[in-house]
Structure 1
Amino acid sequence: MVKLSCKEAKRLDLVDYLATLGHHPQKINNYDYWYLSPLRTERTPSFKINRRQNNWFDHGIGQGGNLIDFGILYFNCSVSDLLHRLTLRGVPDFSFHQPTTFANEKKEDKIVLLTTRQLTSPALLDYIQKRRIHLEVARHFCEEVDFLLYGKKHTVIGFRNDAGGYELRSEHFKGSSSPKDVTFINNRMEQVSVFEGFFSFLSFVAASDRAVLPSNCLVLNSLSFFERSRTLMERHGEIQLFLDRDAAGTTNTQLALNWNSSLYVDRSIFYQGHKDFNDWLVSHHHTPKESYRKSKRL
C-alpha cells in the first residue's frame, strides 16, 4: 500500500473529511462553513472552513491551516501517523479540492468596511436583548457596521479593537475585519479584568450596573492574544480572569496561575456551570436589579 503524500493530503476536501469524522456545518455563508469546533467543546460555532481556499481557522484558539495541520491536532499524532490513517481509510472516500479562480476574488473574499453608526437596526437590537445586554451598554461600547463580503452587504454589531479593526457579530454572522487586535479600556485603575470576547465584557458591564467600571478591562478578541498580552496585564496590581470555561479557556487560566498565582485570579468560578459570562447572564434571565445583587460577588 502506497502511503498518501503530504501534497495529496492537503488537496483532500476539508468539508468532506470532517463529515467522515462525524462533524457537519451548523451554517454556511457562501464559501464559509461554520462548525462547532471539533478541537474543543463549545456551543456557538466558531470553527470555519473556507471551502474555496480549502483551509480552516478556529477562532477560539486562534489557530488554523490545512488538512494536515488539523489532523495532527485532532488526533494528537505526527504527520507520518496522520498520513497512515488517511491511507488506511482510502482516498476514494474523499474528494480532492479543485482550486478555482474568480475575477476580483482577492477583493471579494475579504471583509470591506463601509460605514459605522449608532446601533439602530431592530434586528440587532433584538439580538442584543436576547443576549441580555442593556441597550445603553451596547451603544456605549459598540457600533452598527455595514460591510461587504463576496459582494454582499451585511449589517452587524461592531466592537472596535485597538488597531482599528472590528469584531463583527449578529445572530447569523461571526467574523472580524483586519487588523485583528485586543481592545484595552483604560480607566486608570490598578486592577484589570480580562475577557475572551466582547459579549462577555458587555455582560460584565451589565451585571456590574455601575456608572464607572470597577477596573481596567482587556478584551482579547481571540485567545491567541493571551500570552502576547502578558506584559500589558502585569502592569496591574491584580489581574482578574473571566475566560471561558471550556478547554481552551481553562488551559489559559491555568497557564496564568502558573505564571504568578498571587497576581492572577480566576473569576470564572462566578459563572461555574456555564460556558462564559454571557451564557450565565442569559441562562438566569436576570433583571438589572438581580444582576447587580449577584455581581457583588465579583
Structure 2
Amino acid sequence: MNIEKAKTIPIARILEKFNLKPIRSSDKEHWYLSPFRTEKTPSFHVHNHKNLWFDFGEATGGDSIKLVQILLKQQGNDNSVSEALKWLDNNTDSNIQYHPSHLQDEGSQSPVLQLKSVSSIKNIALKHYLEKRGIPLSVAEKLLKQISFTNEKSGKTIFALGLENEEEAFEIRNSFFKGCIGQKSISFIRGTQPKPSGINIFEGMFDYLSVITQRNGRLLKNDTIILNSLNCLKQIVPYVKDYGYKFGYTWLDNDLAGKKATPKLLEIFKSENIAFCPMNSLYQPYKDVNAAHIAKLEL
C-alpha cells in the first residue's frame, strides 16, 4: 500500500481494528478515550471530513499513518512508516477504495450545535455541577454564563456553563459535555491592577475559578489568559508581545501534556523577557488546580 492510499483510510476504521470505539459521534467528528493513556473524559478527536486526528491531552495529532506508527510503538513493534503501511495493507481490505467520509466544503455546512440563549446561571443541574467542582455560584457568575444550545442531529436543547473567548464564541461545559460553540480560542481576563507586572496562564476555566474561590472571590491583580486548550497556546503571543509583563505565572496540568507544553510557553516568555514562574508545586501531586481544590474541600 502506498502513502497516498493509506492516508485515505478512515481513521475511525483503523481505531476499530485496535478495538477502540467512539464515546461520542456525529457525521463530522468522533471523540474517543485516548488510546495513549488512561482517562475518563474523551480527549481524542477524529475529524471525519479531513480524516485527521488530534489528542488534546498529548497536544499532538496527524494522519492515519502517524496514528498506526504510535499504536505499533505502544505494542512494542517496529513503528517505521514502512511497517505502518504494511500493517494497513494487512488489516484493511486493499480491494476497497477508501475515502474520508463526507468530504465537502465545511463552510457550506451549518454547525451541529446552534446557540439559543445566554443568561445568568439558573439551571439547578449546572448549580450542582459547580458544587461538585468546588466553585460557589457567586464566584462562577464573575466569569460564566448559562448557555442553552440545540444539537441539530438530535433536536435536543442542552444547558451548559459558558465562558466567552476572544473570538466571541463560547467554551462550554456541563457534567457530560465539553466543547465550543463557534471558533475555539483563548479567553483574556483583565486584572484588577492597572498595567500589571504579571500574566497568569491557566489551562481551563475551573482551574482559574478554583484560585478565585481560594481567594474568597477576589479577582487576581495580574492579567489572566485561560487557554481553553493547549492547542491554543500560540494564540497568547499577541497578548504578551511588547506589553511589558515582567512575570509569567503558569498553572499547567501536572501531566505529560502539560510538561510538553511548558518548553513552548517558556520560549514565548523568553522572547519577551518575561520571567517564567511555574506554579505547579502549589497543586502537586494532583493533576490540575481544580483537582487539588476538590481534594482540599474533601468533596
TM-score for the superposition, normalised by structure 1: 0.79
Please state how far the C-alpha of 1:166 moved relative to its aligned partner.
Answer: 1.0
Please state how far the C-alpha of 1:136 moved relative to its aligned partner.
Answer: 1.1
Q: Select which of 164, 167, 189 maps to 1:163.
A: 167
Per-residue Cα deviation, 1:160-216 (whole angstroms, up to 9, x for no partner):
001201111111111112222211111232111111111211112112224332321
Alpha-carbon contact 1:34-1:49 (below 8 Å) kept: yes
Q: Select which of 187, 205, 208 maps to 1:183.
A: 187
Aligned twin of 1:294 = none
Q: Secondary structure at the match of 2:141?
A: helix
Please state how far the C-alpha of 1:7 moved relative to its aligned partner.
Answer: 4.0
Aligned twin of 1:269 = 281
Query: Residues of 2 paired with 1:57 and 1:252: CA distance?
Result: 15
Aligned twin of 1:213 = 220
Do the aligned partners of residues 229 and 122 (structure 1) sit closer, same or farther apart at CA in structure 2, a change above 3 Å counting? same
Do the aligned partners of residues 252 and 170 (structure 1) sit closer, same or farther apart at CA in structure 2, a change above 3 Å counting? same
Query: Residues of 2 paired with 1:101 and 1:223: CA distance?
Result: 27
Alpha-carbon contact 2:24-2:32 (below 8 Å) kept: no
Could you tell which deviates more after superposition, 138-147 or 8-17? 8-17
Residues 1:203 and 2:203 are matched in the alignment: no
Aligned twin of 1:28 = 24
Alpha-carbon contact 1:61-1:222 (below 8 Å) kept: no
Per-residue Cα deviation, 1:49-100 (whole angstroms, up to 9, x for no partner):
355765433334565554235345656766444213323x43259x956735
Q: Secondary structure at the match of 1:251?
A: helix
Residues 1:226 and 2:242 are matched in the alignment: no
Could you tell which deviates more after superposition, 69-78 or 7-16? 69-78
Could you tell which deviates more after superposition, 226-235 or 74-83? 74-83
Please state how far the C-alpha of 1:34 moved relative to its aligned partner.
Answer: 2.4
Alpha-carbon contact 2:225-2:236 (below 8 Å) kept: no
- Percent identity of the aligned residues? 26
- Structure 2, unaligned runs of 5 or more: 74-78
Match for 1:251: what amino acid? Answer: K
1:1-298 aligned within 5 A: 4-21=1-18, 23-25=20-22, 27-31=23-27, 32-39=29-36, 42-50=39-47, 54-60=51-57, 64-72=61-69, 79-87=81-89, 89-92=90-93, 99-100=101-102, 107-151=109-153, 152=155, 153-187=157-191, 188=194, 189-233=196-240, 235-257=244-266, 260=270, 263-285=275-297
Please state how far the C-alpha of 1:276 moved relative to its aligned partner.
Answer: 0.9
Per-residue Cα deviation, 1:22-51 (whole angstroms, up to 9, x for no partner):
5444x3244553223234665432212355
Query: Residues of 2 paired with 1:169 and 1:176: CA distance?
Result: 9
Could you tell which deviates more after superposition, 202-211 or 58-67? 58-67
Q: Secondary structure at the match of 1:147?
A: strand
Match for 2:198: what amino acid? Answer: Q
TM-score for the superposition, normalised by structure 2: 0.79
Match for 1:181: what amino acid? Answer: S
Match for 2:277: what amino acid? Answer: V
Alpha-carbon contact 2:166-2:187 (below 8 Å) kept: yes
Q: Secondary structure at the match of 2:134?
A: coil
Query: Residues of 1 paired with 2:100 and 2:246: CA distance?
Result: 54
- Structure 1, unaligned runs of 5 or more: 288-298
